[in-house]
Amino acid sequence: MRGWQVIKKGLAIKKGLAILIVGLFCLAPLPASAVAVDDRPLPDAAQEARARLIMAGIRCLVCQNQSIEDSNAPLARDLRVLVRQQVAAGKNREEIEAFLVSRYGDWVLMSPPFNPRTLILWLFPPGLLLGALVFLWYRSRQTPQARPRPLDASEQARLDAILSGATSDRDADRGEQNR
Amino acid sequence: MRPILWVPLLLFAALVMALTIGLFLKPREIPSAMIAQPVPAFDLPPLWMSGEGLQSSDLAKGEAVLLNVFASWCAPCRIEHPFLMELADEGIPLYGLNYKDKPEDALAFLGELGNPYRRIGADRDGRVGIDFGVYGVPETYVINGQGQIAYKHIGPILPQNQDQLRQAIKKAAQESPANEKASE
């Protein structure tokens, strides 16, 4: 009984720890995105949310692997101001992204667009998968599973003898060696 | 050896080659989307009260020009400055875009090192810089006589970049109507 209680208590601690960890993970993204955005948000919450969404998809060209939403670079700040202005002016995401691409190229978008220059990038992984599947299918057709040869009369007799227990395993081994 | 057994080795060799090429690419140098595009429309105030500012029309007067993006806070700008002075002495039209700088600092910078620019526009908030696709200072644009951006150099113009820039200027000058008239 005591042992069971110890286990139960241990489980309760684990459960509490799990809740704590999950809670921490839920909290973690909040301060991270709040730190870099030092400039003034738009007064309209819906517009600000749209602006933030667009910012998250625009690459900071100075720090390269951060979006302008979470970069502290001065250029990222300027681009945030620009995105907010454009959102406030009623521009949609496509228009704002098109403007930035016309200035900085496709690279300014965090996820590369699908166009002739990015064909290899987008088509290589599914192409590789497809190629591998075709290869496997082709191979499986070329070498059908080898069927075991049916036993001849003497082998069948030996097998019957082993199964009926008339010969010991050692005899069977010896028979194998003799072959 | 069956020929098919060479396939993995060849694939591996191709991968090694692709990665080796990748090692020598410069991810910091983003190819400009503005090449062959007309200069964006802008009208910037001067650095000092009495001077003239810089407008897009100044860059499309029928001859090839250089537009140099500089700032007093930009250390690499000091490296390329003597070369800019040299170009100005040779009579190459050079214009300045003073990027996100305090006018008094910019004036002190030019007072110390010399002013190679025919005109300077003060881009206090960096908005015109964004229109040009500036993402680091210094940057130098070669603009042909039609006011199209022909070439862009990112970062300071180091001795090993000077020839390439001169060639780009020469090429842009050949594309310019003013030069065509002169050669006729």
Do A61 and B30 count as a contact with CB atoms less than 8 A apart? yes
pLDDT band at B62 (very low <50, low <70, confident <90, very high): confident
More confident residue, B48 or B37: B37
B106: pLDDT strictly greater than 90: yes
Residue of A nearest to B34 (CA): A103
Do B27 and A64 count as a contact with CB atoms less than 8 A apart? yes
3-class DSSP state for residue B65? strand
Please list, residue by residue across A85-119, b when 16 or more beta carbons sit within 10 angstroms of its beta carbon and e when fewer do: ebbeeebeeeebbebbbebbbbebbeeeeeeeeee
pLDDT tens across the length of chain A (179 residues): 565 666 666 666 667 777 777 666 666 554 444 434 457 888 899 999 999 999 999 999 888 789 999 888 889 999 999 999 999 999 999 999 999 999 998 889 998 888 888 888 899 999 999 999 999 999 888 766 667 788 889 999 999 989 988 655 555 555 555 54
Q: State which fold the A39-113 domain adopts.
A: Helicase, Ruva Protein; domain 3 (1.10.8)
Give the separation between CA A57 and CA A96, rounded to whole angstroms: 11
pLDDT band at B77 (very low <50, low <70, confident <90, very high): very high
Position B16 scores a pLDDT of 96
CB distance A72 to A36 below 8 Å: yes
CA angle at residue B62 from B61 to B67, to 5 degrees? 60
Q: What is the mean pLDDT of residues B66-90?
A: 95
CB distance B166 to B131 below 8 Å: no
Contact status of A62 with chain B (Cβ, < 8 Å) = yes
Closest by CA to B97, choosing from B128, B73, B76, B75, is B128
Q: What is the mean pLDDT of residues B60-82?
A: 94
Closest by CA to A53, choosing from A12, A76, A87, A4, is A87
Position A36 scores a pLDDT of 43
Residue B134's alpha-carbon distances to A35, A43, A135, B47, in angstroms, are 25, 29, 48, 20
Model-level pTM?
A: 0.70
Give the separation between CA B66 and CA B86, rounded to whole angstroms: 13
Do A102 and B131 count as a contact with CB atoms less than 8 A apart? no
3-class DSSP state for residue B68? strand
Chain B residues within 8 A of A107 when measuring between CB atoms: 30-31
Position A28 scores a pLDDT of 56
Chain A residues within 8 A of B132 when measuring between CB atoms: 103
Mean pLDDT of chain B: 89
Q: What is the mean pLDDT of residues B121-135?
A: 92
Which residue in B130, B134, B154 has the most chain A C-beta atoms within 10 A of its own C-beta, making it the best mutation to test that interface? B130
3-class DSSP state for residue B150? strand
A96: enclosing H helix or E strand: helix A93-104
State the first-to-last Cα distance of chain A, in angstroms, to the nearest integer: 63
Domains of chain B in start order, with CATH, are 33-183 (3.40.30.10)
B184: pLDDT strictly greater than 60: no
When mean pLDDT is compared across A20-24, B60-64, B162-166, the lowest value belongs to A20-24
Contacts of B81 (CB under 8 A, 6+ apart): B113, B114, B116
Which residue in A101, A102, A104 has the most chain B C-beta atoms within 10 A of its own C-beta, making it the best mutation to test that interface? A104
CB atoms within 10 A of CB A179: 8
Closest by CA to B128, choosing from B60, B47, B45, B48, is B45
ipTM here: 0.80
Distance between B134 CA and the closest CA of chain A, angstroms: 8
Do B31 and A105 count as a contact with CB atoms less than 8 A apart? yes
Task: Determine phi and psi for A170, rounding to 5 degrees.
Answer: -65, -40
Q: What is the mean pLDDT of residues B40-69?
A: 90
Longest distance between any two alpha carbons in chain B, whole Å: 82
Do B133 and A74 count as a contact with CB atoms less than 8 A apart? no
Q: Across the interface, which of A62, A82, A101 has its CB nearest the CB of B135?
A: A62
The residue ranges of every structural domain in chain A are 39-113, 118-145
3-class DSSP state for residue A17? helix
Amino acid residing at B16: V
Quote the DSSP letter at residue B175: T
Contacts of A166 (CB under 8 A, 6+ apart): none
Put residue A146 in one of left, alpha, beta given phi > 0 → left and psi -120 to 50 → alpha.
beta
Give the separation between CA B69 and CA A156, rounded to whole angstroms: 92
